[in-house]
Structure 1
Amino acid sequence: MLARLGAVLGAVTVIAAPGAAHAAAQPVPEVMAALGDSISTGFNACGWYVSCTARSWSTGDSGQVSSHYARLTELSGTLQKHNLNFAVPGATSADLLGQMRKAVAGRADYVTILIGALDACTRTEEAMTPVATYRRRLDAALAELRGGVPGARVFFASIPDVRRLWQVGKGNALARTFWSAGRICQSLLAEPTSTRNADVQRRARVRARVVAYNRAAAAACAAYGPRCRTDQGAVFSYPFTLDHVSKWDYFHPNTAGQRVLAERTYDNGFTWLDPR
């Protein structure tokens, strides 16, 4: 029942940018950049508590993931080796503007953004970023891109459903140990076996905040215009399992998880021209 509810909510989480359904195909970018947090750096996807950008769903070059970069270089060689990754483990929406400035300096004409998991995954529920603040930070970053690289394309990946992580991992003793020892996402993962109403409601509120962030990102994308796309909730609604997360922390996507992220986002993003 909860999985079905998650799928329904995921479907309405993100509003498509204007004209997305019938937009013309886009020329392949010459420079792309990934912005966001540890998910986009491939953290824990190939080593013990290290980033593995080669396995990033966005800019990675590993054949095990089939990232946006890997797929786009198959269409055009002009993108080859022009895959910038400015995502930083631990980043929140407060760091997005600084990352965007680096993308502008790099003249990126295609930017992927996945940010917000750590705005919700905080030490306490009260520490979560307000939705209005999150939206304001996204608007500021997009304004920076518009002013610096007019015509740049933007893709927003939806934030994963963090409550699903609790659902699939709460029965696993190792997962619970890592969540507790690492103080991981305590706003949601604290007291993982508790069925008390207070804990049930806390988890629901954290999930609702993620839903609100995804809606705010969609609205910011729509305001940016037809050169912006979202995945329309494809990542949020994906029914991932523990097979998709690192066994070193039971939180970050492993190689299989990064591969799913790449597939779900690419298939729900821009249509690209094939010059061949």
Structure 2
Amino acid sequence: MHGRGGRALIALVVTGLLAGCAASSAAEPDLTELEPPAAAAEVAALGILGDSMSLGVNACGEQGQCAEVSWAGGSDPAVGSIAMRLAAASGAEPEVVNAAKDGGDVGEALSLADEVIRARPQLVTVLLGGNDACAPSLEEMTPAADYEAGLAALFGRLNVEAPDATILVLSIPDLHHLWEIGRTNPQAVQAWNSSPSCSNLLGAADDDSAEADARRDAVAARVDEFNAAIVRVCAAAERCIDDGGAVFAYDFSGEEISAIDFFHPSIAGQRAIAEIAWGALEGGSE
């Protein structure tokens, strides 16, 4: 499923998951009538494995981590995180163990899983792969086979060592789309061109040459491969729910992207991810 054409294949799924999501970008989500999802009916401990997106990096007014607005474990009512939704639905706040790592990839998540496993979670959220695709060069991207093997090892370990946990895994956002919506913004281009982050996609951001387009398309293709691997690995694991590609298909708007680096989700973007994740959890089954 390639980026530009893949959205059409899952448009109906995304429409169902994101009903009312556009409106939520302007107001706090209403959590008053939530019911505990069957796949996570009682969650005393919520484990989080991921990267900077699960840490709210650059979502607040200053550069750096802002975990209170994390889509997964945050406490800010403007986001309505998975942790807050679980608390609203059940009346009991879960213990949140956020073992996400800024800049972390799938291999590092496997090494950080101990912290989550020790908490004996009933739900583990996973959003990984952006740093496996983003690299200084195309050659330094994680090979698709290695990403899939790492994810399979991670889920296998969670199944064995956290046997009560449902795994909720989200697709990787369409990173190429983020470049598309920022490429005409001089501030975004300046930020990207002056940063070493994700330079295989965002480097020379205003270069419209065929070579630059091919480079960006190669990153997009690797993200597609990773997202296909997520579906396969989740299907093979026990107690695993994926989002049907909904995060990848979501067309983040300019206001849903950080004004600090024009790459990470803003508070509104974190809210959009939380909406998608909760919809997937509600629609999933053990």
Paired position in structure 2 for 1:264: 276
Supply the AA of the counterpart residue of 1:120. Answer: A
Partner of 2:145: 132
Matched, 1:215 2:228: yes
TM-score by length of 2: 0.85
Is the contact made by 1:245 and 1:257 (CA closer than 8 Å) also made in structure 2?
yes
Question: 2:240 is matched with which residue?
Answer: 228
Q: Do 2:44 and 2:94's aligned partners in 1 also have CA atoms closer than 8 Å?
A: no
**CA pair 218-4 structure 1, distance change in 2 beyond 3 A:** closer
Give yes or no for contact 1:28–1:76 (8 Å, CA) kept in 2: yes
Q: Deviations over 1:126-170 (max 9, x none)?
A: 100001111111111112212212131001111000000110001
CA RMSD, 1 decimal = 2.4
Large movers: runs of 4+ above 6 Å: none
* % identical aligned pairs: 36
* Number of the residue aligned with 2:84: 70
- 1:30 counterpart = 2:52: no
Q: 1:271 to 1:166 in 2, by over 3 A?
A: closer
Asked if the contact 2:72–2:274 (Cα under 8 Å) also holds between the matched residues in 1, the reply is: yes
Counterpart residue type for residue 60 of structure 2: C
TM-superposed CA distance for 1:81, in Å, is 4.8
Match status 1:154 vs 2:173:
no
1:123 aligns with one of 136, 143, 148 = 136
Structure 1 residue aligned with 2:178: 165
Q: Would the aligned equivalents of 1:11 and 1:233 in 2 still touch at CA under 8 Å?
A: no
Aligned to 1:98: 111
Number of matched pairs: 262
Please say if residues 9 and 237 of structure 1, whose CA atoms lie closer than 8 Å, have aligned partners that are also in contact: no
- Aligned mates of 1:8, 1:198 — CA distance in 2: 27
Q: Spell out, residue by residue over 1:10-64, the C-alpha distance to the aligned partner (whole angstroms, 9 max, x if none).
A: 669xxxxxxxxxx965423111011100000001111422211110001111100
Q: What one-letter code is carried by the residue in structure 2 that aligns with 1:54? A: E
Unaligned 5+ residue runs, structure 1?
13-22
Q: Is the 8 A contact 1:25 1:270 kept in 2?
A: yes
The one-letter amino acid of 1:32's match is L
Q: 1:176 aligns with which of 189, 192, 199?
A: 189
- Counterpart position of 1:43: 57
Deviations 1:97-138 (A, max 9, x none): 122221101111200000100111111111000011111111
Q: CA deviation at 1:96?
A: 1.2
Q: Is the 8 A contact 1:36 1:91 kept in 2?
A: yes
Question: Is 1:249 the counterpart of 2:261 in the alignment?
Answer: yes
Out of 255-264 and 96-105, give the one that drifted further.
Answer: 96-105
Q: 1:101·1:145 contact (CA, 8 Å) conserved in 2?
A: no
* Greater alpha carbon shift after TM alignment, 162-171 vs 199-208: 199-208
Match of 2:66 among 52, 74, 78: 52
> What TM-score do you get using the length of structure 1 for normalisation?
0.88
Distance 1:208 1:149 in 2: 33
- 1:189 Cα deviation after fit: 1.1
CA distance in 2, matches of 1:9, 1:195: 28
Three-state SS of the structure 2 residue aligned to 1:112 is strand
Answer 1 or 2: higher relative contact order, Cα 8 Å, separation at least 6: 1
Write the distance in 2 (CA, Å) between the matches of 1:106 and 1:26.
Answer: 16
